[in-house]
Chains A and B, each alone.
Chain A
Amino acid sequence: EVQLVESGGGLVKPGGSLRLSCAASGFTFSSYSMNWVRQAPGKGLEWVSSISSSSSYIYYADSVKGRFTISRDNAKNSLYLQMNSLRAEDTAVYYCAREGSSWSEYYFDYWGQGTLVTVSS
């Protein structure tokens, strides 16, 4: 059974840092691209960042570029999101999501339960 379990969320002051983790199990982690998607309270989904299976390709949303860093450790079946210079508008539930594919078409086929990040003084 595919499982994605996020951790590391919490309350942090504006300008602070936080590192999120996503522990993966039930599939060959090193074969899949992974993503972070966030959802502000009462709002819709917003894609944050993607990383390819071997970390060769990394993408960021403009809203987090230069402040967030995505990484992975295939030996530990883990995905990370280092968040620096946090702002109030970064307050959200952060989900990790596996990027599945079929005939070169891509989609988020499994999602974690999410971890809440609150940026407030």
Chain B
Amino acid sequence: QSVLTQPPSASGTPGQRVTISCSGSSSNIGSNTVNWYQQLPGTAPKLLIYSNNQRPSGVPDRFSGSKSGTSASLAISGLQSEDEADYYCAAWDDSLNGFWVFGGGTKLTVL
């Protein structure tokens, strides 16, 4: 049971726009920024979005992030076949001594 809640799966056809949600609480998303990671099959995770909506150098602007209250979303526009991957949200949690929490991951399928 992950602290952050994501849908287990999402899908879309090439060119479509898809969104992936991430729900948390006041101790994590509600008080800290959200990061998103992309994990292509058989590879290590890669930073996709940081600080809610910032893209690292090299990440296409088709990827965007947003946050409102205790929820966050990742949007992918102009969906491409190479976007098929697992996507994870993450945030720092201020509970107790503090720790990083991840969502359970969303498997994106490009139909």
Residue among A47, A59, A60, A114 making CB contact with B102, cutoff 8 Å: A47
Q: How large is the interface on A (under 10, 10 to 19, 20 to 34, 35 or more residues)?
A: 20 to 34
Check if B56 sits within 8 Å of A109, measured CB to CB: yes
Does A111 count as interface, using CB distance less than 8 angstroms?
Answer: yes
Determine the distance from Cα of A61 to Cα of B104 in the docked complex, in whole angstroms: 16
User: Which of A46, A59, A105, A110 has its CB near the most chain B CB atoms (within 10 A)?
Assistant: A105
Check if A108 sits within 8 Å of B99, measured CB to CB: no
Q: How large is the interface on B (under 10, 10 to 19, 20 to 34, 35 or more residues)?
A: 20 to 34
User: Closest chain A residue to B50 by CB distance?
Assistant: A107
- Other A-B contacts than A50-B99, A60-B99, A114-B44, 9 sampled, CB-CB below 8 A, are A44-B104, A45-B88, A45-B102, A47-B90, A47-B101, A50-B100, A102-B51, A107-B47, A111-B45
8 contacting pairs across A/B (C-beta < 8 A):
A35-B100, A44-B103, A44-B105, A47-B100, A59-B98, A105-B51, A106-B92, A109-B50
